[in-house]
Amino acid sequence: MKKHMLGLAAVTLALTPIAAAAQTEIQFWHAFTGRLGELVAAQVDNFNASQSDYTVVQSHKGNYSETLNAGIAAFRAQEQPHILMVFEVGTATMMAAKGAIRPVYEVMAESGASFDPDAYIGAVKGYYTTTDGDMLSLPFNSSTPVLWVNRDAFEAAGVDPDMDLSTWENVGEALDALKAGGEDCPLVTAWQSWIHLENFSAYHNVPFASKDNGFAGLDTELMLNGPAQVAHLSAMQDWAKDGKFIYTGRRNEGGANFRSGECALFTESSAGYAGIKAEAEFNFEVRPLPYWKALVDEPQNTIIGGASLWVMSGHESGDYKGVGEFLSYLSSTEVQAQWHQDTGYLPITTAAGDATRASGFYDENPGTDVAVIQMTAKQPTANSKGLRLGSFDQIRGIIDEELEAIWAGDKTAQEAMDSAKARGDALLRRFEAANR
């Protein structure tokens, strides 16, 4: 770490004479590599070229968890960047760190950059906004789970690929038919807790945790052992037992199985688009995430995953004007629409979505708007605004363990979720104690 810092310092020193003396440097730490990393670098270059007062320096700090850790370690050493990318799971941690961050709405107001919180899509904005409506961090990359369909696999198993898959009841029938038709991998999933519990709860308008999913206070408790969640997981357990749902791992391991054409159905983030489009050698299709007809007449909205940008405190006040301008640039319609079309992430402003529609992108790439419609069809409720739970990374680990117990048949869905609640609540109490 220290060596790294020295290296960084050396590079900065070496570059200083080239940059104009009057420019203020803005450090921006993010978690993107590969294609996404290139796109971020391009955004930063364009911003730097567009004005001469500030230079944004972007650096990649590892995956989401590592980036957050790097930011925290840097803050402790008083070397923190101006802007830090934090995944949605770390939101409560950042919010609780009042002395370490500067709320985005405040930074924007002081910098005088144009900023209209109402321009953002409700379900995206809600995740990063206080109950008073103040936006604390800037939504950057957001996605939501959808159902990916391998049409060729349906046809090979003698199942009509155009059949209605909007409800889990229908999906259940499809799984039976696929299995009977000789399909070895009817259904896989990525991010099981995010899709089959967190989003499931929002989509069926049932709470995942008390106190408005943690938005209204640190004294929140998990409520993921309710009848709706248990019913869904029990059905999944039966499918797993019959070999209709194949468990491949806690993260997005299932993506490899789906992209290779091995699996018929795949619940995964809408941001899987780029990868599936690049690799899949079969006809695929995006469908909305299914819901249980037995539980609700029509689904609520799904919630987001992804990251937002947090402004860290402790820099000179002049720097924050530049931060405000950069964030304002990032959320401009043009930049956002391009980002949405390049990556499959959601457009974070309504205007960016409209611009994309007007450009004919959705007509040329059918299915890319499914996620947008799914997120925006309804006004979010207290159950579907998002989640704000401390130690959430660890709680997800606990949920993963308990879900594995369900898939392996070691526990019933009710037993596993009761246990997840008890274990998760213990961590929530610790987080409450640490941040009171």
Partner 1 sequence: MEKRVLFKGWILPLVLIAPQVLISAVFFFYPAAQAIWQSLFIPDPFGLSSKFVGLGNFEFLLGDPFYRASFVTTAVFSILVTLCSMIPALFLAVIADRLIKGSGVYRTMLIWPYAVAPAVAGVLWLFMFNTRVGVVSWYLGRLGYDWNHVLNGGEAMGLVVIASAWGRISYNFLFFFAALQSVPRSVIEAAAIDGAQFWRRFFTIVLPLITPTAFFLLVVNVVYAFFETFGVIHTITAGGPQQSTTILVYKVFSDGFVGQDLGSSSAQSVILLVVVGLLTVIQFKYIEKRVHY
Instruction: Name the residues that contact partner 1, by CB under 8 A.
Output: 65, 69, 72, 75-76, 93, 96-100, 247-250, 253, 256-257, 262, 391, 393-394, 397, 400-402, 404-405, 407-408, 410, 423, 426-427, 430, 433-436
| Shortest reach from residue 193's CB to partner 1, in Å | 13
| Shortest reach from residue 404's CB to partner 1, in Å | 4
| Shortest reach from residue 416's CB to partner 1, in Å | 10
Cβ proximity to partner 1, 67 vs 270, nearer residue:
67
Cβ proximity to partner 1, 62 vs 226, nearer residue:
62
**Bridge-based pairing state of the strands 187-189 and 265-269:** parallel
Cβ proximity to partner 1, 151 vs 423, nearer residue:
423
398-419 b/e (C-beta count within 10 Å ≥ 16 → b)? bbbebbbbbbeeebebbebbbb
| Shortest reach from residue 92's CB to partner 1, in Å | 11
| Shortest reach from residue 104's CB to partner 1, in Å | 18
Closest CA to 300 of 193, 372, 228, 202: 202
Cβ proximity to partner 1, 4 vs 76, nearer residue:
76
| Shortest reach from residue 98's CB to partner 1, in Å | 8
- Measured CA to CA, the distance from residue 199 to residue 205 in angstroms comes to 10
| Shortest reach from residue 181's CB to partner 1, in Å | 20
| Shortest reach from residue 389's CB to partner 1, in Å | 12
Cβ proximity to partner 1, 60 vs 423, nearer residue:
423
- Measured CA to CA, the distance from residue 251 to residue 28 in angstroms comes to 26
C-alpha torsion sign, points 99, 105, 106, 111: positive
Cβ proximity to partner 1, 55 vs 257, nearer residue:
257
Cβ proximity to partner 1, 68 vs 206, nearer residue:
68
- Measured CA to CA, the distance from residue 170 to residue 266 in angstroms comes to 15
- Measured CA to CA, the distance from residue 290 to residue 141 in angstroms comes to 23
Cβ proximity to partner 1, 190 vs 330, nearer residue:
190
Cβ–Cβ < 8 Å for 165, 173: no
| Token couple for 420 | 């997840």
CA distances from 143 to 139, 214, 268, 404 (A): 11, 21, 10, 25
Cα angle 174, 176, 180; round to 5: 115
Contacts of 173 (CB under 8 A, 6+ apart): none
